[in-house]
Amino acid sequence: MEYRAVIGLEVHVQLNTNTKIFCGCSTIFGAEPNSQTCPVCLGMPGALPVLNRKVVEYAIKAGLATNCQIAPRSIFARKNYFYPDLPKGYQISQYELPICSAGHLDIQVEGTAKRIGITRIHMEEDAGKLVHADVPGVGDDSCVDLNRACTPLLEIVSEPDLRSADEAVAYLKKLHQIVVYLGISDGNMEEGSFRCDANVSVMKVGADKFGTRTETKNVNSFKFVKQAIEYEIERQIEVIEDGGKIVQETRLFDPNTGVTRSMRGKEEAHDYRYFPDPDLVPLVISNDWVEDVRLGLPELPEAKRLRYMDELGLPAYDAEVLTASRELADYFEACLEFHSQPKPVANWVMGEVTRALNEESRSITDTPVTPQLLAELLQLIDKGTISGKIAKTVFDEMWRTGKPPAQVVEEKGLVQVSDTGEIERIIDEVLAREAGQVAEYRSGKDKLFGFFVGQVMRASKGKANPAVVNELLLKKLQG
Ligand code: ADP
Ligand code: MG
Ligand code: ZN
């Protein structure tokens, strides 16, 4: 029997506003516990929430970038549950009337495009954090840190349109790329700024109804999402094949074992008793505001990718790689301001620059070779001052020292030799030394040509102009 998986993702994105969603406390990560709190985020009775306008702006940005409709009127709701990190006894979220709905993202999996529906995007506050620690003078204890309480989140809920772990990862990567491009989140998955709940069910091929889903909570890397979904699909198929039934439940993924296990079943599921928060008036968003935000949107990765292909004439692969992150694209475009040929610039950015960055696990924002210096290097190649091969040596030295290419070339004596007299002299030497090979070449072994080029280049320590070498060598060998 063949099965088909059905997947829908709920993604939580932590927004990078300076202050929290309903009070003026700072959101900076890693401060002394409870140092960034006030009566509102401590949940004191009678303290009143005041909505952060920036959070709304960011939500509108996310909605526009994912083709959503922006609700002219939306409502904050209380989601009631008890937990020690939630002093109010409820989380302020949105329920029936979220700020964004009915959007979509187009993903590419193995060369085919697919549209994934986005059901809704809503704003909510995060909870605090329980810290289980050895407290001096107390011993093992659990403490509450409310610095994170009330920090702004977006929850982005997809339609159950995904059909494999690979599609889910492609969707998630695309969404991640968009929120980082928009500048509304740092997207740091290790710190939990971008995390995902994976809803998974399976059904027999041809069935007319989806199967029962499980929800695996808080998976925080692309790799784990893939593992968790694949594990869950296999597990569910096995249960059904063994004559069992899938129960709707919440599960947890263990990255150490690659396995999901049950956390709570439907019976223990919370009844959140949502209701509109009487402390917050309905949120009204004017059309003008939405249009203002739309005008301020940066160029998004999809548009950038197409522009790189259409206007810059880059191959699809290059366009994809260069737009993967906004920083890389910015670097590439900054290089183009100093050197107007896109393809060689693309080659260098995707080649040497990326290699050097990876070797040192550095980010493009912290490269010692600035766009201007890289462009100067390419100009030296264009002018024939150095060969493409020598340029790589020069680049390594620039990377190490931060020196401009002209200075490196000068100091290391790397100027390309194009002087025909000088090159001729080297060729004569090589041909005299390799008389046997010359005879073979002349008796028809054409393939040896490359060997001679190599010998001449080596004798010149890589500095001979390859075009000149080829031309003169051919003349000499034929003559
Ligand atoms: P809940 O609050 O119960 O998690 P939500 O509406 O927030 O409900 O999210 C439900 C998620 O589950 C959505 O992403 C949706 O696409 C997905 N989903 C719904 N039905 C199925 C199903 N049968 N199989 C897989 N995913 C599903
Ligand atoms: Mg859910
Ligand atoms: Zn506060």
Closest ligand to the CA of 146? 3
DSSP labels for 182-237?
Answer: HTS----TTTTSEEEEEEEEEEETT-SS----EEEEEE-SHHHHHHHHHHHHHHHH
Specify the pLDDT at position 171.
97
Question: 122 and 154 in contact (C-beta within 8 Å)?
Answer: yes
Residue closest by Cα to atom 11 of ligand 1: 8
Residues of the chain with pLDDT under 50: none
- 131 forms beta bridges with 143
Residue closest by Cα to atom 6 of ligand 1: 157
Question: 473 and 449 in contact (C-beta within 8 Å)?
Answer: yes
Three-state SS at 124: strand
Atom of ligand 1 nearest to the CA of 199: 26
- CA-CA distance, 182 to 396, in Å (whole number)? 33
Q: Residue 339 to residues 345, 364, 378, 414, 450: CA-CA distances in angstroms?
A: 8, 18, 8, 22, 32
Specify the pLDDT at position 301.
92
Specify the pLDDT at position 163.
95
- CA-CA distance, 257 to 69, in Å (whole number)? 41
Specify the pLDDT at position 269.
65
Residue closest by Cα to atom 14 of ligand 1: 8
Sign of CA dihedral 280, 281, 283, 286: negative
The backbone torsions φ and ψ at residue 118, rounded to the nearest 5 degrees and listed phi first, read -115, 115
Q: At what angle do helices 326-338 and 301-310 cross, to 10 degrees?
A: 30
- CA-CA distance, 229 to 406, in Å (whole number)? 53
Give the tokens for residue 127.
């909870």
Ligand 1 pocket: which of 201, 202, 213 to mutate (most atoms within 8 A of CB): 213
- CA-CA distance, 420 to 389, in Å (whole number)? 20
Q: How far is the CA of 11 from the centre of ligand 1 (A)?
A: 12
Q: Residue 247 to residues 164, 251, 257, 297: CA-CA distances in angstroms?
A: 20, 11, 22, 43
Q: How far is the CA of 26 from the centre of ligand 2 (A)?
A: 28
Atom of ligand 1 nearest to the CA of 161: 16
Q: How far is the CA of 237 from the centre of ligand 2 (A)?
A: 22
Ligand 1 pocket: which of 9, 153, 162, 199 to mutate (most atoms within 8 A of CB): 199
Specify the pLDDT at position 321.
93
- CA-CA distance, 191 to 254, in Å (whole number)? 17
Q: Pick from 58, 161, 121, 106: which is nearest to 305 by CA? A: 106
- CA-CA distance, 397 to 390, in Å (whole number)? 11
- CA-CA distance, 99 to 397, in Å (whole number)? 52
Core vs surface per residue 380-411: b (16+ CB within 10 A) or e = bbeeebbbeebbbbbbebbbeeebbbbebbee
The backbone torsions φ and ψ at residue 136, rounded to the nearest 5 degrees and listed phi first, read -55, 130
Specify the pLDDT at position 246.
92
Per-residue pLDDT tens over the stretch 288-325: 999 999 999 999 999 999 999 999 999 999 999 999 98
CA-based radius of gyration for the chain: 30
Specify the pLDDT at position 235.
95
Helices (H), 123-197: 165-182
Q: Residue 248 to residues 201, 204, 209, 265: CA-CA distances in angstroms?
A: 9, 18, 15, 7
Ligand 1 pocket: which of 66, 118, 153, 157 to mutate (most atoms within 8 A of CB): 157
Specify the pLDDT at position 304.
95
Question: 6 and 211 in contact (C-beta within 8 Å)?
Answer: yes
Per-residue pLDDT tens over the stretch 317-366: 999 999 998 999 999 999 999 998 999 999 999 999 999 999 998 889 88
Specify the pLDDT at position 457.
84
Residue closest by Cα to atom 13 of ligand 1: 8
Atom of ligand 1 nearest to the CA of 159: 16
- CA-CA distance, 446 to 478, in Å (whole number)? 11
Q: How far is the CA of 312 from the centre of ligand 1 (A)?
A: 41
- CA-CA distance, 394 to 352, in Å (whole number)? 11
Ligand 1 pocket: which of 3, 4, 10, 245 to mutate (most atoms within 8 A of CB): 10
Give the tokens for residue 179.
């929120």
Residue closest by Cα to atom 22 of ligand 1: 213
Residues contacting ligand 1 via CB (< 6 Å): 6-10, 157-160, 199-201, 210, 213, 215
Cβ neighbours for 289, distance < 8 A, ≥ 6 positions apart: 60
Q: How far is the CA of 330 from the centre of ligand 2 (A)?
A: 36
Q: How far is the CA of 155 from the centre of ligand 2 (A)?
A: 10
Q: How far is the CA of 162 from the centre of ligand 1 (A)?
A: 11
Q: How far is the CA of 160 from the centre of ligand 1 (A)?
A: 7
Cβ neighbours for 179, distance < 8 A, ≥ 6 positions apart: 13, 62, 185, 187, 194
The 8-class DSSP code of residue 247 comes to P
Where are the chain's structural domains?
3-289, 299-412, 420-478
Q: How far is the CA of 253 from the centre of ligand 1 (A)?
A: 17
Q: How far is the CA of 192 from the centre of ligand 3 (A)?
A: 20
How would you write 394-463 as a 3-class SS string?
Answer: HHHHHHHHCCCHHHHHHHHCCCCECCHHHHHHHHHHHHHHCHHHHHHHHCCCHHHHHHHHHHHHHHCCCC
Neighbours of 151 (CB within 10 A): 25
Amino acid at 453: V
- CA-CA distance, 68 to 98, in Å (whole number)? 11
Residue closest by Cα to atom 15 of ligand 1: 8
Closest ligand to the CA of 270? 1
Closest ligand to the CA of 10? 1
Q: Domain 420-478, what architecture?
A: Orthogonal Bundle (1.10)
Cα 245–chain centre separation: 37
Q: How far is the CA of 166 from the centre of ligand 3 (A)?
A: 40
Specify the pLDDT at position 442.
86
Residue closest by Cα to atom 17 of ligand 1: 8
Closest ligand to the CA of 39? 3
- CA-CA distance, 328 to 406, in Å (whole number)? 25
Cα 354–chain centre separation: 15
